[in-house]
Structure 1
Amino acid sequence: MSHAADVFPFPGSTYRGPAPQYAAFRADQPVVKVPTAGGVDAWLVTRYEDVRALSADPRLSRARACGPGAPRIGGTMHTTPEMIISLDSPEHSRLRKLVAGAFTLRRVERMRAGVQKVADELLDDMQAQEGPVDLVQQLAVPLPLTVIGELLGVPAADLRDFEKWARAFATVDDRAGGEESLNGLAKLSEYIVGLVADKRARPTDDMLSELIAARDNDDRLSEQELVTFGFTLIGAGFDTTANQLANSVLALIADHRDQWRWLAEDRSRIPVAVEELLRHVNLFATDTSGFPRIAADDIEVGGVTIAKGDAVLLSLASANRDGDVFPDADRLDLAREKNPHISFGHGLHYCLGKHLGRMEMEIALDGLVRRFPDLRLAVPEDELPWHNGEINHTLTSLPVVWGA
């Protein structure tokens, strides 16, 4: 019988890094079968090259992990079968082709001035207050949420309700559903259905209207696909960015104040620093991408055979700490130039929103180090509240102060 410490998800993972088991597995058993909290054994893949290769391997199926009768693996995200992150090709390729135009680097760069304006207004409000200020409520949540609202064309008058429902949706998980969260989920669903109908009748200059109009020859997105994509955008584009920003600021002001000051001295260093924060700061509580896969065929990798039908977990957090790829991998080095991190995934499900996430991180950090070079925690770190969900390391509050 396995010891609790050997059951996935392993205890000991924090925003600072993955649980200690991963380093041992990378060294001795890079592809290892582990029992999971859901009662199903799964192959855990921990080295960078293997994780990257399998992320792009069509023999690993996301759809089989999301369909009826799929194994329940404790501590992983169980998405609905119609979401783009749940699809295999050719269905995934069809959907991605229709929506990819809305996420190009050029399209995202056109949003920069608008994102900067939102960030400046939030930081103006923060600067006008006498601390302590909750950075989660003041910046980490409202910045990406306002941006997603604008992408979907949510009218300004509806943004407050949209924010409340979206936050409830983002915190739904196996252990913390709760009546309030489920009610928020229902309200958000109803709202997005109405929003799609409204944009179809009266298109405006926003991403949702663009997606409604998207065509690939005679192909188009169905009503259900549009609504589902709205949910995906909120979960991936809002919650993930909010958590990454809050956790990154915490890492800098709690553990790496010298590097925070180093950024403040020369803000041109921020784009390279963001890549290192994406690599080093551990977002996923399970240390994987949160998404299990099922082998559709036998696969040889890392000296073992993954059999057809077996569940597979790819650890992005472990891959990002692989010393064969990242020298001194456990050290946060904001000047790290060669940084092929895999935080946005790889292959078929490479994150569509990567350009937007990077831009929001850069703008937020630039504003913070410029205005608050002496930003620091207002409470002891062990008093910070974390959401007890199974997917992300989520700070629910980050009280900070600055000045004398």
Structure 2
Amino acid sequence: MCAWLVTGYDPAQQALTDPRLGKHHSRGNAAWRARASIMPEPQHSQLQVHLLHQDPPRHTAMRRMITDAFAPQRVEELRPRFQEIADALLDRLPDAGRADLVEAFAAHFPFRVLAEVIGLPGEFVARFDRDWGKVVQPVGPEDPGRPAYEARLRGLQQYIADLVVHKRREPGEDLLSRLVAARDSGELGPEELDSMIFQLLVAGQEPVTNQITTALVTLLRHPGHLAALAARPELLPRAVEELLRHDAAFELTTWRFFAEDSELHGTRIPAGDSVIVSLCAANRDDRRFTDADTLDFDRSPNPHLAFGHGIHFCPGAALARAELQIALGSLVRRLPDLRLAVPESELHWIPAVLARGVDHLPVAYGGGEDGTGATGRHGAEPLPAGQPATGCPLHRADSAAC
């Protein structure tokens, strides 16, 4: 199977809005299906017909069902509640010491926020197993981890089935109840309902968890920026946009397909081959962003593509922005003198291009020895000018490549 990677800002933006490129799996050719359909049946058929894999007009109708829940105005109305959630998590930490910011904060904050937004009942919040989020890291049929992967899928599918039964029995004025009602009225098929809930639970939580950790690592690499953010909270909105541009957890889009052999940026692409857009490469393109490898909180304008572009622009972008602002603002305010508690080389990055982050983030704060031999300092110096924090090798390219 040949996959084609689109890099560079202008080519990426054009591909994301190209009406010839569709997302539905039926467009994939036999070679793509043989390699890409890693999720086994019946889960593939039942959990993979969500918004990311739909084209208009079905995509338009399904997306309309969720947009009100994630509208910027509603997000702003809920912001005080989100801040309460962040503060409650941080209240559990001592005033000074060490903590794993994934376990203590980043693994929990986005999911509790999501529960508020979509109407997930408390009993289902408590029952959710974060390990299910690993289903976005497909495991091949011959991989020794395949049985655990399939067990995650079955567990998550049963959780969704139980949630649908609960919402049908006890409906409320919330997004999940509206989606179940749409299924019962025939507006959604059963697989579409399960897939949309699957997408909300997985895409609505784990990427934000990973983006919090990725942003924190970037700040810890740039102690001057971290100090500026702690001293000037009014920088938060611009800082979050720049952190998303500089190093986003969501590096690549999912696949797109041409219905017939087509030309893309001078390259002939066979029908049904997978076309993937590199968002990280687009966001580090020097032809669009001056000193693209430099972290600059004063960068304006900042039209990054971290949330995609076009009709598949992330519907939860306003929520993710609010979560990142609250999370980072709360952490730098509540945990003074924040620094890594281990050498950066000991951080373990999750090996998934669609959900990149660290699975543990040990930090020290509040003064004293940090465990890396530095006292009262942040855990890493800034990277030299011009050196990308992620080592992304694609940020200069500008064409489709096989």
TM-score scaled by structure 2?
Answer: 0.81
1:241: which partner in 2?
A: 208
Judging changes above 3 Å, is the alpha-carbon distance between structure 1 residues 301 and 223 closer, same or farther for their aligned structure 2 residues? closer
Match of 2:193, SS state, is: helix
Judging changes above 3 Å, is the alpha-carbon distance between structure 1 residues 351 and 369 closer, same or farther for their aligned structure 2 residues? same
Q: String of CA shifts for 1:68-124, please: whole Å, max 9, x gaps.
A: 835169899977541210111122112112222222112222321221111110111
Q: Which range moved further: 156-165 or 174-183?
A: 174-183
Query: Identity across aligned pairs (percent)?
Result: 39
Question: Which amino acid in 2 is paired with 1:338?
Answer: P
8 Å CA contact 1:48–1:318 kept in 2: the answer is yes
Mapping of residues 212-361 of structure 1, within 5 Å: 212-213=180-181, 220-253=187-220, 255-284=221-250, 287-289=251-253, 291-361=254-324
8 Å CA contact 1:64–1:70 kept in 2: the answer is no
1:395: which partner in 2?
A: 358
Question: Which amino acid in 2 is paired with 1:231?
Answer: F
8 Å CA contact 2:206–2:355 kept in 1: the answer is no
2:102: which partner in 1?
A: 136
8 Å CA contact 2:101–2:362 kept in 1: the answer is yes
Quote the Cα distance in structure 2 between the aligned partners of 1:335 and 1:169: 37
Judging changes above 3 Å, is the alpha-carbon distance between structure 1 residues 278 and 74 closer, same or farther for their aligned structure 2 residues? farther
Judging changes above 3 Å, is the alpha-carbon distance between structure 1 residues 176 and 363 closer, same or farther for their aligned structure 2 residues? farther
1:251 Cα deviation from its structure 2 partner: 1.0
Structure 1: gaps spanning 5 or more residues: 1-39
Quote the Cα distance in structure 2 between the aligned partners of 1:250 and 1:75: 32
Match of 1:57, SS state, is: coil
Which of 158, 183, 188 lines up with 2:156 in the alignment? 188
8 Å CA contact 1:277–1:332 kept in 2: the answer is yes
8 Å CA contact 2:72–2:318 kept in 1: the answer is yes
1:223 Cα deviation from its structure 2 partner: 3.4
Match of 1:395, SS state, is: coil
1:392 Cα deviation from its structure 2 partner: 2.8
1:55 Cα deviation from its structure 2 partner: 0.7
Question: Which amino acid in 2 is paired with 1:273?
Answer: A
Question: Which amino acid in 2 is paired with 1:239?
Answer: E
8 Å CA contact 2:139–2:146 kept in 1: the answer is no
1:45 aligns with 2:6: yes
8 Å CA contact 1:165–1:185 kept in 2: the answer is no
8 Å CA contact 1:211–1:226 kept in 2: the answer is yes
Match of 2:127, SS state, is: helix
Which of 77, 93, 102 lines up with 2:69 in the alignment? 102
Q: String of CA shifts for 1:332-370, please: whole Å, max 9, x gaps.
A: 112212100011111121111111111100000110111
Q: String of CA shifts for 1:166-217, please: whole Å, max 9, x gaps.
A: 44545554468544443233222112212122212321243212333469xx
Quote the Cα distance in structure 2 between the aligned partners of 1:155 and 1:101: 19
8 Å CA contact 1:82–1:228 kept in 2: the answer is yes
Which of 310, 326, 332 lines up with 1:363 in the alignment? 326
8 Å CA contact 1:150–1:206 kept in 2: the answer is no
Quote the Cα distance in structure 2 between the aligned partners of 1:257 and 1:83: 41
Quote the Cα distance in structure 2 between the aligned partners of 1:281 and 1:176: 31
State the aligned residue count. 358
2:82: which partner in 1?
A: 115
8 Å CA contact 1:65–1:71 kept in 2: the answer is no
Judging changes above 3 Å, is the alpha-carbon distance between structure 1 residues 376 and 337 closer, same or farther for their aligned structure 2 residues? same
1:203 aligns with 2:171: yes
Structure 2: gaps spanning 5 or more residues: 368-402
Match of 1:400, SS state, is: strand
Q: Which range moved further: 148-157 or 225-234?
A: 148-157
Judging changes above 3 Å, is the alpha-carbon distance between structure 1 residues 75 and 228 closer, same or farther for their aligned structure 2 residues? closer
8 Å CA contact 2:70–2:117 kept in 1: the answer is no
1:152 Cα deviation from its structure 2 partner: 4.0
Judging changes above 3 Å, is the alpha-carbon distance between structure 1 residues 223 and 304 closer, same or farther for their aligned structure 2 residues? closer
8 Å CA contact 1:133–1:400 kept in 2: the answer is yes
Match of 2:32, SS state, is: coil
Judging changes above 3 Å, is the alpha-carbon distance between structure 1 residues 403 and 355 closer, same or farther for their aligned structure 2 residues? same
